[in-house]
Structure 1
Amino acid sequence: MTFSFSAVLIWLDLAGVFFFAVSGSLLAARKQFDIIGSLLLASVVSLGGGVIRDIIINAGPPTAFISPAYLAPPLLATVLVYFLFSSVQRYTSLLVLFDAGGLALFCITGSLKAMAAGMNPVAAVLLGVTTAVGGGLLRDITANEVPQLFDPKDIYALPAFTGAALTVALSVTGTFNAVTAGAVAVVVFAFRVTAWRRKWFVPLAVRGWHRLGLDTAEGKPRD
């Protein structure tokens, strides 16, 4: 690679941490948590995926625990939501947008770190997906929400699979750089948000089952 791998990775990782942290604080606000609960939920969602990733690749102490820079985004997100949330309308849309941003960046960084650790391309894709969806899963479970990962009326993992697969393919062919990384992030973000707005979904586990609570007649985008 002809660019600074570590620099790009760190900035992408920190940006992903911030986006996920905002989604956590927004969910905390919606659930009427106090500010400490907001900070904890922001930390869980933004750092959880990276911690899982570092444990799996046996990278030593997770990056979130050895680099103070990773503690700043959750704190910043908590403060921003505390002061701005009262004037924010359609907060569910904001939550999905920030979550999609974190998903788009973490599927890239997770895959890259897996490749750097010597994992094969298939395992790197799987770890990229795990990194991307792990924090959101922990966030929803902690907040007593149905995890988006298992929501039959939404698509969550497929955008992460797409981004991780593209990242690994670009890395293997030697064409991954800052520009292509940005393009992958845009593709994943657009895929996730469009799927949410258009109510795209994949087939259920058994053919013929019906999706409870899905209004197929109106087809209106959700808030």
Structure 2
Amino acid sequence: MNSEVLTPVLDWLDLAGVAVFALSGALVAARERQTIVTMAFFALLTGVGGGTLRDMLIGAPVFWIHDPWVAAICLGVAFAAWFTPMKWWQARLIDFADGLGLTAYAVLGASKAMSYGVPPIPAILMGVITGCAGGIFRDVVAGRPSIIMRPELYVTAAALSATLGVLGEVIGLPREIVWIGATSAGFFLRAAAIRWRWSLPAFSG
């Protein structure tokens, strides 16, 4: 299948994920006392990084090049962050918002991959890449430890959402219910990991 199968629900998940990741990117630049141009660059890189990599891998048109809203949202979020005090953006609040963007983007990435004929297991991986890659790009460019190196669950939450999204589509459940349920499940796992520092066992060998 060469055409995208997106609905208003998935479109809203897409824009919500872009906005949240763009904000996290802008705030990283803000904490480093960078210029508005650098903040806008970090917002765009973080907001579209995962989706860009996904589209290149599945052979789809790069989504933000053909959608007039995506880049505008990223730049708008950067300007909003520039004109607000840093104290408004508490670290824990941003972590929870990032968790919502992570899981929403994972569902979106997996569903879009399925719509392009990608088999279920690679589609799940496309969901994980969509959710995680933008934050990885942000951290690498900023020269700080990657978010995936934190001890609490992060990639696991994206994988849970992507897996539930793909399973729901495979067995034919209503898509809107699957997308909302899969996003919520991954977000609750990520929120619990933030709140109680849940993590998987580390390699000890």
Q: Which residue of 1 aligns with 2:114?
A: 115
Quick one: distance in 2 between partners of 1:47 and 1:19? 11
Quick one: distance in 2 between partners of 1:42 and 1:140? 12
Task: Give 3-state SS (helix, strand or coil) of 2:60's partner.
Answer: coil
> What's the TM-score, normalizing by structure 1?
0.84
Q: Which residue of 2 aligns with 1:5?
A: 6
RMSD of Structure 2 on Structure 1 (CA): 1.6
Q: Which residue of 2 aligns with 1:218?
A: none
When Rg is computed on C-alpha atoms for both structures, the one with the higher figure is 1
For the Cα contact (< 8 Å) 1:155–1:202, is it kept in 2?
yes
Task: Give 3-state SS (helix, strand or coil) of 1:84's partner.
Answer: coil
Q: Decide which moves more: 18-27 or 197-206.
A: 197-206
What aligned pairs does 1:136-155 form with structure 2 within 5 A after superposition? 136-151=135-150, 153-155=151-153
> What's the TM-score, normalizing by structure 2?
0.91
Task: Give 3-state SS (helix, strand or coil) of 2:163's partner.
Answer: helix
Q: 5+ residue gaps in structure 2? A: none
Higher fraction of helix:
2
Deviations 1:90-148 (A, max 9, x none): x2113212211210111011000110011111011011001110101001111111001
Task: Give 3-state SS (helix, strand or coil) of 2:84's partner.
Answer: helix
Quick one: distance in 1 between partners of 2:192 and 2:183? 14
What aligned pairs does 1:1-223 form with structure 2 within 5 A after superposition? 5-60=6-61, 62-88=62-88, 91-151=90-150, 153-207=151-205
Question: Structure 1 residue 6: deviation in Å?
Answer: 3.5
Q: Decide which moves more: 105-114 or 190-199.
A: 190-199
Number of positions where the alignment pairs a residue of Structure 1 with one of Structure 2: 201
Question: Structure 1 residue 194: deviation in Å?
Answer: 1.5
Task: Give 3-state SS (helix, strand or coil) of 2:43's partner.
Answer: helix
For the Cα contact (< 8 Å) 1:23–1:42, is it kept in 2?
yes
Question: Structure 1 residue 87: deviation in Å?
Answer: 4.3
Q: 5+ residue gaps in structure 1? A: 208-223
Deviations 1:174-199 (A, max 9, x none): 11422332222122112112102211
Identity %: 31
